[in-house]
DNA sequence: CAGCATCCTATCTGATACTG
DNA sequence: CAGTATCAGATAGGATGCTG
């Protein structure tokens, strides 16, 4: 049952002027969109170990292309979740580190991780069951 | 400290055979992907008010096309977050309702909503500041 | 009422090659 | 080292019109 927990967090819906107004409001989406691309979550997770250089991240996120790593880092930097520090040495050195906001986002991510750990199997099972269903209109052949 | 908890969830991607393999099995991502498309979160939010019919949802989600509403509902149904019940009356009537899993997901959504409410402005401000920065290499003109 | 079919555009993502 | 540039495929999202 949702009621108690959810009512504590969602009743703000009504303060938005009902469902319609809430549904058009976008702060929750700002939050979700931070995490909804392929690599952001992983970069955030990697940086929880401490500041990391470009090449270090590239190795940790085995499989990411430089292009996507750059894009992901720029996006997170733009949103204030991490800082990018250039040390003009030779060879050059660039370090990425989470900001307070970034760590806060990782906290939200932890909640999602917990929920995922508890329910991912259920979801994947539902998905398998759905995909195994006979196509609509097709009557299962009796034995 | 949140970091420690989340750190434990970040794996050595190489042991999964690369990031792709990890992402397919990654429980946090399963969770995020439920919410990361444009309408899923809003449909979930709408159904928190109780079961709703297709047309009702369409009106609540002012602006959604029938195609996207159908696709979103099918996706959530497939993942076991809601049920679809057809009443073969004339005219026909189809009702969508959250499952327990769906209500649970909405609980996670509440956390995201709360975080978004607390930090969305900060993010948007960071974004504006970033976009207002002079292009790299361009020296600000002294007064 | 509750969709489905078709066409079209924008964005995401990756592969590959090159540079200050 | 830390990226940038270009090409190309896949997918999301929308517009429009039609149907059981």
pLDDT in tens, B28-76: 888 889 988 888 988 998 898 899 999 999 888 877 899 999 999 999 9
Q: What is the pLDDT of residue A86?
A: 97
Q: Does A104 touch chain B (CB under 8 A)?
A: yes
- Mean pLDDT lowest for which of A37-46, A106-115, A122-131, B133-142? B133-142
pLDDT score of A143 more than 70: no
* CA of residue A113 relative to chain centroid, distance: 9
CB under 7 Å from strand C: A 37-39, 63-68, 71, 91-92; B 20, 53-56, 66-67, 70, 73-74, 84, 91-94
Interchain proximity A27–B61, CB inside 8 Å? no
B24 — pLDDT class (breaks 50, 70, 90): low
Could you tell me the CA-to-CA distances from B130 to A77, A83, B3, B136 in Å, in that order? 8, 11, 26, 12
Interchain proximity A107–B2, CB inside 8 Å? yes
Mean pLDDT for all residues in chain B: 82
Backbone angles phi and psi of B83, in degrees to 5: -110, 150
Average pLDDT over residues A105-116: 86
- Residue A73 · residue A37 · CB < 8 Å: no
Q: Nearest nucleotide, C1' to the C-alpha of B91?
A: C1
Q: What is the pLDDT of residue B5?
A: 41
Render chain A in DSSP notation, one character per residue.
Answer: --HHHHHHHSTHHHHTTSHHHHHH--HHHHHHHHH-STTHHHHHHHHTTS-EEHHHHHHHTTT--HHHHHHHHHHHHHTTSEEEEEE--SS-EEEEEE-HHHHHHHHHHHHHHHHHHHHHHHHHHHHHHHHHSPPTTPPPPP-
Q: What is the DSSP letter of B13?
A: G
Q: What is the pLDDT of residue A138?
A: 53
> Percent of chain A at pLDDT above 70?
75
Interchain proximity A29–B116, CB inside 8 Å? yes
The answer, as to whether pTM is greater than 0.75, is yes
């Amino acid at each position: 049952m949702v009621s108690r927990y959810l009512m504590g967090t969602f009743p703000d819906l009504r303060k938005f002027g009902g469902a319609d107004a809430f549904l058009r409001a976008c702060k929750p989406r700002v939050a979700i969109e931070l995490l909804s691309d392929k690599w952001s979550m992983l970069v955030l997770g990697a940086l929880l170990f401490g500041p990391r250089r470009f090449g270090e991240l590239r190795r940790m996120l085995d499989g990411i292309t430089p292009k996507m790593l750059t894009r992901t880092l720029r996006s997170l930097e733009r949103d204030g979740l991490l800082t990018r520090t250039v040390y003009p040495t030779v060879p050059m050195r660039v370090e990425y580190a989470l900001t307070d906001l970034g760590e806060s986002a990782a906290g939200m991510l932890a909640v999602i991780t917990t929920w995922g750990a508890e329910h991912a199997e259920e979801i994947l099972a539902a998905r398998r069951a759905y995909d195994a269903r006979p196509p609509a209109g097709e009557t299962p052949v009796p034995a």
